[in-house]
Structure 1
């Protein structure tokens, strides 16, 4: 076969097909992940597994927890209207908190990202302020503000917006307001992280073509940060559904949610198996809603980008 001339294109080099020459991925990354997996298993998976096993036991007023196995605790929770009301209230509060945090946090993160570095740092410090305060201290502050003679009612009456004090304590509205105060930072941080990957050239091009800020936000920015909105909404929903201190202090003893019901079963009535069953059902329902919401948002995002 004559040698190829200089003007002829060279054929690509042959790929190595010998199994001995093919490099296999090293196992080092998997070994490096092993300590984290062990810590996760010990600190989280083991208590969850023990709680799940406890939920199948029985309880006696005279003998305590009995090592019997059955689904009677789940049957009691799923067939009792009292627990239905508690779970519906919990999911309603979590959904309302998530929607309000999304409406507040997404525009807030976008506005902060457009500020100068000095003002940006100051605004982020203000946004993260609620996370720097103890949940008990923060909630007690809200109880003072929401009281019949609190600053909120005094302000409403001074502005002649209400002739009588507005009932905020021991209501779902008061719980949602207090939860939104602490959950907004999680939404802002999630959307802020997604905004760091948005190319500002698209916004500048839309503005140069005469698009308003609202059009730029809804048509260009929002579709690109939907993953951040999804992450923030999942965080806010899961934390709101499992919140304990805020509903306990503002909602009181009569307005129970799932977390306070679990607390009462474990420490008040000492019916640990029933409390474990409520906890398992709460975890399962929150996970199901989160997975469903994740699937819906991913399909909409893929359809919008297709």
Structure 2
């Protein structure tokens, strides 16, 4: 037995030596990622440190003036506050709509479940611009939804026009992003054992109590991942806020766009984009870390 082990050990050591290191296996993907995403970000970062002169254009220099202006100017404070307030509202509404919708879909029987799942996810097959233009026809001017909200006192404009308002931007973004919440919660529901729900019902709990105290805690990771996706996409959204909000209701993405193409101040637009990226990463990572700590405490 000892001789067999000794005879096998050299081949095993050679096998370990022949096996490539893990980072070599990931090198093609890492190079592809850096080429398509890393290089534009690095170039944008370098550009943000340059200065701008309206008479000669971009001046090659190194300074933090653009970041000082973004971080100190109350105009940009208002834009970023509007961006994240809209994003938080969109996340909350997507949770309120998407979680029950995914739960109902998971409890349907075929073929209705497959049919309604396709209907729910079908908007993802349509361009965001096309869907947003549909909302323009619905909430703008004499749109049906605008007239209805005016009648019940929710509309921000006396004419019932929800264009260029927070309400209009939030409604359009929820319509665009709620399928992503449904997908995340649906994936978590597929791992849920129906016997757990039946056990709660057999012990006398109502359906609402079982859903609140049994189902929700188990699909919380899906809600968390969906919330992060919706928040990141709504905070960096451009097409929907640009069409619905216009120039009256700027968010960070449209402000960077205006600096690039309207005032031609590319360094300032790059600085806004970098600040938005860093802020999104900080918020997402902090939220993820906080929820992970909560899961660890809950699971012991």
Residues 74-102 of structure 1 show CA distances to partners (whole Å, capped at 9, x for unaligned) of 00111111000000000111111011101
**1:123 corresponding residue in structure 2:** 116
Q: CA deviation at 1:228?
A: 1.0
**1:11 corresponding residue in structure 2:** none
Which of 281, 289, 296 is residue 302 of structure 1 equivalent to?
296
Indicate the structure with greater helix content. 2
What secondary structure sits across from 1:275 in the alignment? helix
Q: CA deviation at 1:181?
A: 0.3
Instruction: Give the Cα–Cα distance (whole angstroms) in 2 for the partners of residues 30 and 156 of structure 1.
Output: 56
Unaligned 5+ runs, structure 2: none
Which of 212, 216, 230 is residue 218 of structure 1 equivalent to?
212
Indicate yes or no: 2:156 matched with 1:161: no
Residues 4-62 of structure 1 show CA distances to partners (whole Å, capped at 9, x for unaligned) of xxxxxxxxxxx99x985567493265433222111111111111111111110111112
Indicate yes or no: 2:274 matched with 1:283: no
* Residue range with higher mean Cα deviation, 183-192 or 30-39: 30-39
Instruction: Give the Cα–Cα distance (whole angstroms) in 2 for the partners of residues 256 and 206 of structure 1.
Output: 49
Equivalences for residues 170-185 of structure 1 within 5 A: 170-185=164-179
Q: CA deviation at 1:304?
A: 2.0
**1:141 corresponding residue in structure 2:** 134
* Number of positions where the alignment pairs a residue of Structure 1 with one of Structure 2: 289
**2:46 corresponding residue in structure 1:** 53
What secondary structure sits across from 1:198 in the alignment? coil
Which of 139, 144, 147 is residue 151 of structure 1 equivalent to?
144
**2:263 corresponding residue in structure 1:** 269
Indicate yes or no: 2:87 matched with 1:94: yes
Equivalences for residues 2-81 of structure 1 within 5 A: 24=16, 26-27=19-20, 30-81=23-74
Q: TM-score, normalization: structure 2?
A: 0.90
Q: TM-score, normalization: structure 1?
A: 0.88
Residues 154-187 of structure 1 show CA distances to partners (whole Å, capped at 9, x for unaligned) of 4457xx5359533411101110000000110000
Residues 239-267 of structure 1 show CA distances to partners (whole Å, capped at 9, x for unaligned) of 00011111111111121000100100111
For the Cα contact (< 8 Å) 1:223–1:301, is it kept in 2?
no
**1:240 corresponding residue in structure 2:** 234
Indicate yes or no: 2:151 matched with 1:188: no
For the Cα contact (< 8 Å) 1:93–1:172, is it kept in 2?
yes
Indicate yes or no: 2:81 matched with 1:85: no
Q: CA deviation at 1:138?
A: 1.1
Unaligned 5+ runs, structure 1: 1-14
* Residue range with higher mean Cα deviation, 213-222 or 170-179: 213-222
Instruction: Give the Cα–Cα distance (whole angstroms) in 1 for the partners of residues 291 and 245 of structure 2.
Output: 32
What secondary structure sits across from 1:117 in the alignment? coil
What secondary structure sits across from 1:184 in the alignment? helix
